[in-house]
Amino acid sequence: MFYENKRDIFLLYCECNPLQYPLHVHQYIELVHVVKGILQMQIGTEKYLLQPGELAIVFPNTAHDYHTFTPPPEKNAQLHILNCRLDYLPIHKTQLLNMFPKHPKLCASDIHPDVFYAENRLFEINQEDYDQSLVSSLVSLMLSRILPKLDLTDYRELPPQDLSCDIAAYIGKHFQEEISLTSVAKHFGIGKYTLSRIFSNVLKMNFTAYINSLRIDYADYLLLSTDLGMMDIAIECGYHNQQTFYRLFKSIHGCTPKEYRQQRSPAVLASPPAQSFVYEQDF
């Protein structure tokens, strides 16, 4: 398993090639809509088979993988995959962080037409002018129709999964606070050297790099979506020393936070890279 850290705040694309993607975990939500073919997914500890017209949702910090399985005469599957940061979803953020679905798959008959309407509009936005508030509203509309169809339960009742997923989930909720390798290790009742090995061997980065990655990602969002001052953003992201914040930010982006805000608009950061796809509306 590995930790996936995309820089995009929002990303929607159509995957038309055979897909064999290994077990991974990330901080954002993911919606997977199967248009053609058959997709096998592991979400948490369970495996699911998705048929055309069906949809699965992956909550933050939940391990999952993909394996397309398309028998003849079909050549390839066609998947619509949406990733979105929780900061774009203020209405649903608390629920997404504190709950989990017992069955994260929806059959075609359980999916409200608004979900496909919003998906269509999001594809159009990908190709036209990007509008942050519109993207947020459309993804929120999808979730407003999807979440009531799921059997949600408290995250604390989540069936046992890989310890690294639990650690990622915990840090995802607390990265803005005073947090250290020692404090996290104590919370999980393990030694700090054991925790350090989990980061090195499973998440493929050290603890400090992981925390800074989450904090600078959040700083990106605040810089482009608010008018907060630099010190306020530093504190909001968990840094109480503005110089430390500036130094780490520049090491990742190659510019200061002020320069980043001046040089970029929300469209530059959040608009997905150009994707080559053929969108077919056959549902």
Instruction: Summarize pLDDT for 227-243 with one digit per residue, the tens.
Output: 899 999 999 999 999 99
Kindly tell me if the per-residue pLDDT of 268 is higher than 80.
no
Q: Specify the pLDDT at position 46.
A: 87
- The SS3 assignment for 31 reads strand
Kindly tell me if the per-residue pLDDT of 90 is higher than 50.
yes
Local confidence band at 114 (pLDDT 50, 70, 90 cut-offs) = very high
User: What pLDDT digit, counting tens, does each position of 152-185 carry?
Assistant: 988 666 555 567 777 877 887 788 899 999 999 9
Mean pLDDT score, 242-253: 92
Kindly tell me if the per-residue pLDDT of 7 is higher than 80.
no
DSSP label of 278: -
Local confidence band at 108 (pLDDT 50, 70, 90 cut-offs) = very high
Q: How many CB atoms lie within 10 A of CB 87?
A: 16
Local confidence band at 116 (pLDDT 50, 70, 90 cut-offs) = very high
Among 61, 130, 55, 124, which Cα is nearest to 98's?
Answer: 61
Mean pLDDT score, 70-92: 81
Percent of the chain with pLDDT over 90: 40
Q: Specify the pLDDT at position 75.
A: 60
d(CA 73, CA 64): 28
Give the residue with greater pLDDT, 266 vs 80: 80
d(CA 227, CA 209): 27
The structure tokens 């990106």 sit at: 220
145, 115 Cβ separation under 8 angstroms: yes
d(CA 73, CA 13): 24
Torsion of CA 231, 236, 240, 243, to 10 degrees: -50
Lowest mean pLDDT among 125-139, 187-201, 202-216: 125-139
What distances in angstroms separate CA 185 from CA 96, 163, 194, one per listed residue?
Answer: 24, 12, 8
Local confidence band at 132 (pLDDT 50, 70, 90 cut-offs) = confident
d(CA 253, CA 263): 12
Q: Specify the pLDDT at position 117.
A: 96
User: What pLDDT digit, counting tens, does each position of 19-34 carry?
Assistant: 777 777 788 899 999 9
Q: What is the mean pLDDT of the chain?
A: 83
